[in-house]
Amino acid sequence: MQDVKNTADLEPYAPMIDPFERVINYLRVSVTDRCDFRCTYCMAEHMTFLPRKDLLSLEELDRLCSTFIAKGVKKLRLTGGEPLMRKNIMHLIRELSRHLASGALEELTLTTNGSQLSRFARELKECGVQRINVSIDTLDHDKFQQITRWGKLEQVLNGINAALEAGLHVKLNTVALKNFNEFEIPSMLQWAHARGMDMTLIETMPLGEIDIDRTDQYLPLSKVRQNLQSEFTLTPLNYRTGGPARYYKIAETGGKLGFITPLTHNFCESCNRVRITCTGTLFMCLGQEDAADLREPLRASESNALLSRTIDEAISRKPKGHDFIIDRRDQRPALPRHMSMTGG
Ligand code: SAM
Ligand code: SF4
């Protein structure tokens, strides 16, 4: 990768503030749409992925992230697809860590399926990554294979252990799925908290065509919370991680449990984030189609001024909120793109 440290990436820019006075300081970047798993709620088994030439190069991803950091992004999350499947991803992470060292960036983190963590955990820690999210929906070997289609639970558990040993704080992300892990959630919670890992439960979101009926998978977290309350004492916390989760303290385990409920609760009023796909498309809201192409302005000029103006123009269109609905009569996804494109 060429030396990008001398580009105009840290020219001072005005902070990004949207029409509803929300300060944008959290950027999620999908570094690849590819993945070594095929989780049933996320992808069809036979996905068509983008041609590699359409992806931003690692240098372009660096320039884009650096421009956002210069515009006030304090927290940067790499996601995907599976971020650790992108070739030479550690090179990008190492380059981006210069913004941690300079203090411009407060947190560099990633969301991963954990399959490659045994290889990369230690290096991530060396690059200044402190916390990661690992997605895991069950601790049962057969069910794990059923939900991920291609995944191996053992590999992910080894990855989680490697991350903990490297000193990374691990939070588990678990998608709540009807007739799948509904009754396993209490034991997963105990397992996670006993190892010092917090956990966040996610409701399924209607993103992208998949092979199965989403209404069969949809499990409202209000119901999960009710079930958990028969076994645990949940106390609401003010704690926020910059994401949309609402956290509770579990008295019996001492750990935290978060709920991300895009369908039953609107978390948009405090939305501080935007997302970029691996082709450089900026989505101002996970639940809306409006987007801005940043690849063209990025490639049009060596200076970042045009890119910065394009970002400002896009932020001025950030919508107030989303309108996801999973409707039995209308089986189409609310949005045609998959979560693996915008990274969740
Ligand atoms: N591959 C990485 C992983 O699985 O953690 C990062 C990308 S994945 C798209 C990010 C998160 O989105 C995961 O926690 C996954 O469970 C979640 N996710 C994917 N599709 C979803 C959907 N339709 N509804 C809710 N969550 C979804
Ligand atoms: Fe891959 Fe993550 Fe989607 Fe599963 S949820 S298929 S691990 S991108």
Q: How far apart are CA 116 and CA 122, in angstroms?
A: 12
Helix, strand, coil shares, percent, the chain, to 5: 35, 20, 50
The protein residue with its alpha carbon nearest to ligand 1, atom 12, reads 344
Q: What residue type is assigned to position 194 of the chain?
A: A
* Per-residue model confidence as pLDDT tens digits over 68-77: 999 999 999 9
Q: How far apart are CA 2 and CA 97, in angstroms?
A: 16
* Shortest-distance ligand to the CA of residue 82: 1
Probe target for ligand 1 pocket from 34, 35, 160, 202, with the most ligand atoms within 8 Å of CB: 202
What is the whole-number distance in angstroms between the Cα of residue 215 and the centre of ligand 1? 17
Probe target for ligand 1 pocket from 174, 175, 214, 324, with the most ligand atoms within 8 Å of CB: 175
103 annotated to bind ligand: no
Tokens of 232: 């645990």
Ligand 2 contact, 39 CB (< 6 A) = yes
28 annotated to bind ligand: yes
3-class secondary structure per residue, 191-237? HHHHCCCEEEEECCCCECCCCCCHHHCECCHHHHHHHHHCCCCEEEC
Q: Is the pLDDT of residue 2 over 50?
A: no
332 annotated to bind ligand: no
Q: How far apart are CA 245 and CA 205, in angstroms?
A: 14
What is the whole-number distance in angstroms between the Cα of residue 177 and the centre of ligand 1? 13
pLDDT band at 3 (very low <50, low <70, confident <90, very high): very low
Determine the straight-line distance between the first and last CA of the chain, rounded to whole angstroms.
Answer: 28
What is the whole-number distance in angstroms between the Cα of residue 22 and the centre of ligand 2? 29
Q: Which atom of ligand 2 is nearest to the CA of 175?
A: 5
Ligand 1 contact, 173 CB (< 6 A) = yes
CA 207 to chain centre: 14
Polymer length of the chain = 344
The protein residue with its alpha carbon nearest to ligand 1, atom 26, reads 204
Average pLDDT, integer, range 170-197: 97
Q: Is the pLDDT of residue 288 over 90?
A: no
230 annotated to bind ligand: no
How does DSSP classify residue 30? E
**pLDDT over 90, % of the chain:** 74
Helical segments of the chain, H only: 58-70, 89-96, 98-102, 117-126, 141-148, 153-165, 185-194, 221-229, 295-300, 305-315, 339-342
CB atoms under 10 Å from CB of 289, counted, come to: 11
What is the whole-number distance in angstroms between the Cα of residue 13 and the centre of ligand 1? 32
The protein residue with its alpha carbon nearest to ligand 1, atom 15, reads 135
Q: Interior CA angle at 39 toward 134 and 292, to 5°?
A: 80
Q: Which atom of ligand 1 is nearest to the CA of 207?
A: 23
Q: How far apart are CA 110 and CA 244, in angstroms?
A: 16
Q: Which atom of ligand 1 is nearest to the CA of 79?
A: 6
How would you classify the pairing of strands 256-260 and 246-250?
Answer: antiparallel
65 annotated to bind ligand: no
Q: Interior CA angle at 173 toward 171 and 179, to 5°?
A: 145
Distances (CA, A) of 188 to 86, 137, 173, 199: 29, 9, 11, 9
Average pLDDT over the chain reads 89
* Per-residue model confidence as pLDDT tens digits over 210-236: 777 777 888 989 999 999 999 999 999
What is the whole-number distance in angstroms between the Cα of residue 43 and the centre of ligand 2? 7
Instruction: Record the pTM.
Output: 0.91
Q: Is the pLDDT of residue 1 over 60?
A: no
Q: How far apart are CA 47 and CA 43, in angstroms?
A: 7
Q: How far apart are CA 224 and CA 259, in angstroms?
A: 10
Contact 199, 192 (CB under 8 A): yes
pLDDT band at 7 (very low <50, low <70, confident <90, very high): very low
* Per-residue model confidence as pLDDT tens digits over 229-254: 999 999 999 866 666 788 999 999 99
Residue that the structure tokens 């995907």 belong to: 80
pLDDT band at 322 (very low <50, low <70, confident <90, very high): confident
Write the Ramachandran bin of 22: left for phi over 0, alpha for psi from -120 to 50, otherwise beta.
Answer: beta
31 annotated to bind ligand: no
Superfamily (CATH) of domain 4-342? Aldolase class I (3.20.20.70)
